[in-house]
Amino acid sequence: MTGRRRPRRRSEHPVRLGKWLVGAVAAAVVAVPVTKLLTGDSRPAAGSRPAAASLVHIRTSIEYQSGDHWIVPESPVGGAEVDHPPYASDCTPEQVRRKVAWFRGLGAVPAGRYWLRLEVVNDSPYTLTIESIALASFERLPPLRGRSLVLCSEGSGDVGSQYVGLRLTARPPTFTFYDDTYQPTAPFTFAPARNAPVVTYVVMSASGSPLEPPDPHRYRWTMRLRYSLGGHAYSRLIDDEGESFDITDFA
């Protein structure tokens, strides 16, 4: 297994989410899925079939990576709690889970990049077509200043066959689609097979190109996934357990 290579970025306005990963993706030992069923803000069109809609399962999990950096805000920096973080050098799932909880308890924010696993399963008797993914809300804020701490020691990353990049630094933010060689590819609609999970990774970046002047910010956002089921339109809000996703660039 090899580590992730950084995909080339290209600014373009997305209109559709396409070519989802089919099946499981090999995960690094530190990937800690915090899986939940997205239940809020489902919007069926008039005359839809609610019973069938309840058989569409959309789940997300944040994939924490071994080399992730977090910014601990300035207020608690220097305190004894910051100087003695939970032990996580072995990067076991339980160690990572405890350290992430410790970071969040200090008001820390992930820095640089954010990986989100997005899974859709259609257990209904109707055809489901993924139509698009777009930002539902977006804030560009001053970067969080404080101490940069690494989650645990470096390790290999997930490997897969399809990625969606969300470049938060672009104005406006843009989605770009990549194949298994990290080359940009055109999005298109896709109808998942019944009872077969389809998975993709949304890679959300707060860092600009090294060729661009530094312009660090902090970002908060949510996304909306649109799909059709049996000819009826639906949308689902994608967030971080009821909160906005939150990431900062290095100040």
DSSP letter string, 69-101? EEEEETTTTTSHHHHSPPP-TT--HHHHHHHHH
Q: Does 247 score more than 90 pLDDT?
A: yes
Per-residue model confidence as pLDDT tens digits over 80-124? 566 667 766 677 888 888 889 999 998 999 998 889 999 999 999
Nearest to 100 by CA among 117, 88, 89: 88
Residue 50 has a CB neighbour count (10 Å cut-off) of 9
In one-letter notation, the amino acid at residue 176 is: T
Question: Residue 82 in contact with residue 219, Cβ under 8 Å?
Answer: no
Rounded Cα gap, residues 127 and 223, in angstroms: 23
In one-letter notation, the amino acid at residue 48 is: S
pLDDT at 134: 92
Per-residue model confidence as pLDDT tens digits over 8-42? 333 333 333 333 322 222 222 233 333 333 333 44
DSSP 53: H
Rounded Cα gap, residues 176 and 114, in angstroms: 15
Q: Which of the pair, 152 or 32, is modelled with greater confidence?
A: 152
Mention every residue, 6+ apart, whose C-beta is less than 8 A from residue 60: 35, 36, 38, 116, 117, 118, 119, 238
